[in-house]
């Protein structure tokens, strides 16, 4: 070991200094494989451009053009407005109702013959009041004796059946001759009379009749 004299004369141990070894460069660490991220599918959104403002007339025309074409109606079943609705035999048909009665009426040109359920008109409806009710549409339009009428009626009583026949006859006359509508409508022959018997209620004798109440 070498000694070195200081200024005071005291010896001092001097360690031999070795040259420092050069530092080795650290090897680069291998990067750990990263988990692959799932690819996000991004849909492209097209930017809609604002359509120019259209006028009201243009909008109406566009709606009319885009509307579906109406179905072709069968000429045998549906006729044009204001045109007679006749079958192959030249008859007009209509249904009439009153109370619980329903009448089917066929009308055609003739000599004024009226049959009801296969019987003569006066034989089926005996009361003059019922006969007058049924003939009202023909008399008021001055068509009495010009049509042959065939009627089938069911349900209800004579009064309800007479009202049903008048309703059906008026509607059949319109199908045969549409120009008669204003005159028949003014008389009220085309309106279905909705009055019917009110149903009986439980606890009552009739629809509204209660038992007689006694005090003692």
Which DSSP state fits 152? E
State residue 107's pLDDT score: 95
Q: What are phi and psi of 175, to 5 degrees?
A: -65, -30
State residue 62's pLDDT score: 76
State residue 143's pLDDT score: 93
Q: How far is CA 115 from CA 12, 112, 135, 215, in A?
A: 157, 10, 13, 58
State residue 216's pLDDT score: 85
Pairing label, strands 114-116, 119-120 = antiparallel
Q: What angle do CA 13, 18, 24 make, to 5 degrees?
A: 150
The whole-angstrom separation of Cα 132 and Cα 192 is 18
State residue 30's pLDDT score: 56
State residue 198's pLDDT score: 96
Q: Domains plus CATH for the chain?
A: 92-187 (3.30.230.10)
Averaged in consecutive runs of 10 residues, what is the pLDDT profile of the chain (216 residues)? Answer: 52 53 57 59 58 66 64 49 88 96 96 95 96 96 94 96 97 95 95 94 96 92
Its pTM surpasses 0.85: no
State residue 75's pLDDT score: 44
């Amino acid at each position: 070991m070498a000694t070195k004299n200081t200024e005071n004369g005291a010896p001092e141990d001097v360690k031999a200094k070795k040259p420092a070894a050069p530092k080795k460069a650290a090897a680069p660490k291998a990067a750990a494989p990263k988990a692959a991220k799932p690819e996000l599918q991004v849909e492209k959104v097209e930017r809609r451009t604002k359509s120019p403002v259209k006028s009201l007339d243009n909008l109406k025309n566009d709606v009319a053009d885009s509307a579906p074409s109406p179905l072709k109606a069968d000429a045998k079943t549906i006729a044009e407005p204001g045109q007679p609705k006749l079958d192959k035999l030249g008859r007009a048909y209509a249904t009439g109702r009153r109370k619980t009665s329903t009448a089917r009426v066929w009308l055609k040109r003739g000599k004024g013959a009226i049959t009801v359920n296969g019987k003569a008109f006066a034989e089926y409806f005996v009361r003059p009041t019922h006969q007058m009710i049924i003939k009202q549409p023909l008399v008021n339009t001055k068509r009495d004796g010009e049509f042959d009428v065939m009627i089938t009626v069911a349900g209800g009583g004579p009064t309800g059946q007479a009202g049903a026949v008048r309703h059906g006859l008026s509607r059949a006359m319109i199908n045969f001759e549409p120009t008669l509508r204003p005159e028949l409508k003014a008389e009220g022959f085309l309106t279905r009379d909705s009055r019917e018997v009110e149903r009986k209620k439980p606890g009552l004798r009739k629809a509204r009749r209660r038992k007689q109440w006694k005090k003692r």
